[in-house]
Chain A
Amino acid sequence: DAGVIQSPRHEVTEMGQEVTLRCKPISGHDYLFWYRQTMMRGLELLIYFNNNVPIDDSGMPEDRFSAKMPNASFSTLKIQPSEPRDSAVYFCASSFQRDIQYFGAGTRLSVL
């Protein structure tokens, strides 16, 4: 299996622009998680889905962030408008056994 696939690997954008991060979970996994990692705060869960339905979005920092999972093999995390404080590494993870999660390689986002 190819594992969790994220794109792009790196994203550099200017403040105010829309950013879309993409994730393809491991086939057969029915849970999908979006995390953000920073030096100051470590790994933080933003939102997770079960069978394509959002279950807990309490970690989404504000309304500028949104996430969708239109089907079992694809999810997006969108930031609109982006701000410099959104600069971080964003990880997607998937699981068939909710607490045993497998991570993608991440998207390194820089907002200038």
Chain B
Amino acid sequence: QKEVEQDPGPLSVPEGAIVSLNCTYSNSAFQYFMWYRQYSRKGPELLMYTYSSGNKEDGRFTAQVDKSSKYISLFIRDSQPSDSATYLCAMSNNQGGKLIFGQGTELSVKP
């Protein structure tokens, strides 16, 4: 079993839809939770990060962490075609600098 599980998709939604992206994990020691966006043939771009549990909002993006369920989510409101990319979750236990990445979910927002 992988430490971090993420549905690879692809996920296709119409413009304006609310998108929910999710990851589950098995290591209860994880403390930092990140979401990266990766456009085709580009490097991962840090979108949001959260320390420990709770919610964090940034514009149209909301990150949620539920440590009791070992489950993290990224919500995108009013999705736009420019949001079409692969979204990677990543997490760490703040010991050793090693980020564990999910496989990434490919999102397509159709106009």
Residues of A within 8 A of B (CB): 4, 31, 33, 42-43, 45, 48, 50, 55-56, 91, 95, 98-106, 108
Docked-complex contact A99 and B46, CB < 8 angstroms = no
Cβ of B49 within 8 Å of any chain A Cβ, yes or no, is: yes
Please state if B96 and A56 are interface contacts (CB–CB under 8 Å).
yes
Which among B43, B99, B104 is the interface contact of A105 at CB below 8 angstroms? Answer: B43
A contacts with B: majority SS: strand
CA of A21 to CA of B38, assembled, Å: 21
Question: By the criterion CB–CB under 8 Å, are A45 and B98 in contact?
Answer: yes
> Judging by beta carbons under 8 Å apart, are A99 and B44 in contact?
no
Contact check: which of B32, B43, B96, B99 meets A106 at CB < 8 Å? B43
Write out the residue numbers on chain B whose beta carbons fall within 8 Å of the beta carbon of A95: 97
For chain B, the count of residues having a C-beta within 8 Å of the partner chain is 21
Question: B104–A42 contact, CB under 8 A?
Answer: yes
Let me know if B101 is at the binding interface, CB within 8 A: yes
Query: Are B49 and A55 closer than 8 Å at their CB atoms?
Result: no
Given A91-B44, A105-B42, the answer on whether A99 and B104 have CB atoms closer than 8 Å is no
In the complex, chain B residues whose CB is within 8 Å of the CB of A45: 98-99
The answer to whether residues A56 and B101 also contact, given A43-B44, A99-B32, A103-B45 and a CB cut-off of 8 A, is no
Check A42–B103 contact: CB distance below 8 A.
yes
A-B contact pairs, 18 of them (CB 8 A): A33-B97, A42-B102, A42-B104, A43-B44, A43-B101, A48-B97, A55-B96, A91-B44, A98-B92, A98-B94, A100-B32, A101-B99, A102-B46, A103-B36, A103-B45, A103-B46, A104-B43, A106-B43
Q: Mark B21-51, 1 if CB is under 8 A from A, else 0.
A: 0000000000010101000011111100100
